[in-house]
Amino acid sequence: MTGNLHQIVEALLFACDHPLSPREINDLLPDYSIQDIRGALDELALEYRDMGRSFSLKEVASGYQFRTKPDFAPYILRMYKASPTRLSGAALETLAIIAYKQPILRQEIEILRGVDVGGILRALLERGLIRIVGRKNLPGRPFVYGTTKKFLEVFDLTDLNSLPKLREIKDLVSDGEAPITTLQVPTGAADATEKQIPNRTTPQGPKD
Amino acid sequence: MSYEVKLEIFEGPMDLLLHLIRKNEVDIFDIPIATITDQYLAYMDMMKALNMDLAGDFLLMAATLMHIKSKMLLPDIGDQEEEEDPRLEITRPLLEYMQIKELAHDLSEREVLGRDVFSRMPSEELSTLAKGENAPVEANLFQLIDAFKRIIDQRLPEAQLRFRLEEWSINEKIEQIAAMLKEKQTMYFQELFPRTMDLSELVVTFLALLELVHRGAVKIFQADLESDILLNAIPDKRRSLEP
């Protein structure tokens, strides 16, 4: 076999149908160190960026993948005679909840969204964006949901830590002179304790 | 003939409430609960008049609002320790909901694969995508039930009473359908129900198909309500067709 590491890695990336992680490449090329492979990947990414091509080498879901730039989406869709992948607002909201609060129960999602999410969960499962990560030790042993690697791939995320940060409440409310301190709204990303989800059905009135 | 309208923007009670708060330009931390409740109820009446499907969630929220409203009307006795503003019951979830909407927006602003950016795809996926405009739309349970009903309806007039020793179990049928699909990859719904099949076998076959769909081993597609339903074996290796 010939070629330098740089080219070998490039060839692998070119032919691969999923984001290729340094670890996977290392398994294929045991003669090279993972540091060398990481270095080659970084170099390649920079090269493609500087070349001004219509695609770039992007880091997604802990791997690297060639992706076209957004400017060319209309042409590619024309080629496939397809309309762009769309998720409804409801589906996106549900997905956002799961992404930030996983592992999470269906009931907890419903409390946050105020509507039944059964159909949406099924659709998201079918699209492989979420998965059932287990069951909770509660009556009925309900499913616990989390996001998948495909979710990271689709939304151009390296890992869950690279999710957009939760915005502070005061930034959401235009006139921010509100007594935010009295409100216990979770602000930490990916926080999954159910205690933080206020239960809408039990009024927290004083007469109890 | 009646129509059902789905108003996407008020997909749930939270959406409606948020809309009312924004429309009235009121402070979320000082919601005029009487006004908002009245408007909320008026909107619910409108939805009923439009014959829109009013989910129980809307009623639950209405009850919560009215509960808060009544609490606000009660005179403040003032002897108890610092009472919480009853409106917090609604403010808290609303704020969380706003955060979620914001997050959903952030997600949709990203360079989404299949919308903004494209990667090289395995040829299999390419070919399904390349089918393009004629690509069948995923069907739902009701379409499947409709299709089954049509089969039963078509068959009944010439139904004969006959007895067969063969009894099918759902599991056997599942295996049979799975084997057929494994070979053909795609087949029409009707192919599963030959005219000679008796009623009990029809039913077992249908139940077996439902189970396969439920397991995620089969996907059902229908281009439009009139056309034939297509069954697709899911190529995913992790979900094998084996029972």
pLDDT in the model for residue A39: 94
The band of A47, judged by pLDDT with boundaries at 50, 70 and 90, is: very high
Mean pLDDT of the B65-81 span: 77
Q: Of B117, B141, B232, which to mutate for an interface test with A (greatest number of A Cβ within 10 Å)?
A: B117
Q: Of the ranges A42-51, B67-76, B175-184, B215-224, which one carries the lowest mean pLDDT score? A: B215-224
- The secondary structure of chain A in percent helix, strand, coil, rounded to multiples of 5, reads 45, 10, 40
Asked whether A145 and A94 are in contact (CB, 8 A), the reply is no
Contact check, Cβ <8 Å, A81/B60: no
What pLDDT score was predicted for residue B149?
Answer: 77
Would you say the C-alpha torsion B150, B155, B157, B163 has a positive or negative sign?
Answer: negative
Q: Is A116 exposed, middle or buried (0-12, 13-18, 19+ CB in 10 A)?
A: middle
Single-letter residue type at B237: K
The C-alpha R_g of chain B, in whole angstroms, comes to: 26
- Region A102-110: what's the mean pLDDT? 92
Looking at the partner chain, which of B61, B93, B110 has a beta carbon nearest the beta carbon of A156?
Answer: B110
User: Which has more confidence, A51 or B226?
Assistant: A51
What sign has the CA pseudo-torsion A191, A195, A196, A197? Answer: positive
Give dist(CA A198, CA B29) in Å, integer. Answer: 17
In this structure, which amino acid lies at residue A34? I
Are B93 and A114 within 8 A, CB to CB? yes
Q: CA–CA separation, A151 vs A128, rounded Å?
A: 8
Q: Which amino acid is at A158?
A: T
The per-residue pLDDT for B135 is: 45
- The dihedral through the CA atoms of B204, B205, B206, B210 has a sign that is positive
Would you say residue A168 has pLDDT above 70?
A: no
Is the pLDDT assigned to residue B220 strictly greater than 60?
yes
Q: How confident is the model at residue A116 (pLDDT cuts 50, 70, 90)?
A: confident
Judging by beta carbons within 10 Å of its beta carbon (0-12, 13-18, 19+), is residue A83 exposed, middle or buried? exposed
pLDDT score of A173: 60
Tell me the shortest Cα–Cα distance from B21 to chain A, in angstroms: 11
- Non-local (6+) Cβ contacts of B134 within 8 A are B223
Bridge partner list, A58: A65
CA distances in angstroms from A120 to A38, A115, A151, A192, B217, listed in the order given: 38, 11, 15, 20, 19
A131: β partners: A146
Measure in Å the smallest separation between the Cα of B192 and chain A Cα atoms: 23
Decide: A189 and A163 in contact? Cβ < 8 Å. Answer: yes
Minimum-distance CB partner of A156 among B8, B101, B113:
B113
The pLDDT score that the predictor gives to residue A28 is 93
Taking 70 as the threshold, does the pLDDT of residue B125 lie above it? no
- Does residue B53 carry a pLDDT above 70? no
- Contact at 8 Å (CB) between B75 and B53? no
Mean pLDDT in residue range B106-112 = 90
Looking at per-residue pLDDT, the higher value among B191 and B3 belongs to B191
Which residues of chain B lie closer than 8 angstroms to A124, CB-CB? none
Distance CA A95, CA A207 (A): 37
| Mean pLDDT, residues B204-216 | 85
Q: How far is it, in rounded angstroms, from Cα A25 to Cα A12?
A: 8
Q: Cβ–Cβ of B83/A100 closer than 8 Å?
A: no
Using an 8 Å Cβ cutoff, are A48 and A62 in contact?
A: no
Most confident region among A45-59, B40-54, B177-191 by mean pLDDT: A45-59
How many whole angstroms separate alpha carbon B42 and alpha carbon B38?
A: 6
| Cβ of residue B54 closer than 8 Å to a chain A Cβ | no
Lowest mean pLDDT among A8-12, B132-136, B202-206: B132-136
Which chain B positions have a beta carbon within 8 Å of A169's beta carbon?
A: 95, 98-99
Whole-number Å distance between alpha carbons of A139 and B154 = 44
Tell me the chain B residues in contact with residue A175 when contact means C-beta distances shorter than 8 Å: 27
Say what the pLDDT of residue A104 is. Answer: 94
Residue A5: predicted pLDDT? 92
Q: Within 10 Å of residue B83's Cβ, how many Cβ atoms?
A: 13
Tell me what pLDDT residue A80 has: 81
Q: Where are the beta strands (DSSP E) in A13-170?
A: 55-60, 63-68, 104-105, 130-135, 143-147
Higher pLDDT, A117 or B230: A117
Instruction: Give the model's pLDDT for residue A184.
Output: 39
Q: Which two tokens stand for residue B242?
A: 């084996």
* Cβ–Cβ < 8 Å for A93, B101: yes
Residue B236's pLDDT band (cuts 50, 70, 90):
low
Percent of residues, chain B, with pLDDT higher than 90: 4
* Inter-residue contact B41 to B22 (CB < 8 Å): no
Query: Contact, B53 vs B32, CB < 8 A?
Result: no
Q: Taking 80 as the threshold, does the pLDDT of residue A180 lie above it?
A: no
- What integer pLDDT is reported at residue A176 of this predicted model? 39
Flag the least confident range among A145-154, B26-35, B67-76, B130-139: B130-139
Hey, what are A86's tokens? 């769309």
What is the reported pLDDT for B8? 43
pLDDT digits (tens, 9 = 90+) for A56-91: 999 998 899 999 999 999 898 888 877 777 788 888
Is the pLDDT at A40 greater than 80? The verdict is yes
Distances (CA, A) of B132 to A85, B8, B13, B114, B126: 12, 26, 36, 13, 10
Please indicate whether residue B8 or residue B28 has the higher confidence score (pLDDT).
B28
- Over residues B40-51, the mean pLDDT reads 80
Query: Tell me, what's the pLDDT at B84?
Result: 78
CA angle, residues A113, A115, A119, in degrees to nearest 5: 110
Q: What is the pLDDT of residue B138?
A: 67
Q: A91-100: per-residue pLDDT in tens?
A: 899 999 999 9
What percent of chain A is modeled with pLDDT above 90? Answer: 50
Strand pairing report for B186-188 and B230-233 = antiparallel
Is there a contact between B119 and A67 (Cβ–Cβ < 8 Å)? yes
Among A63, A86, A64, smallest CA distance to A73 is for: A86
Nearest-by-Cβ selection for A81 from B93, B110, B133:
B133
Query: How confident is the model over B22-50, as a mean pLDDT?
Result: 86
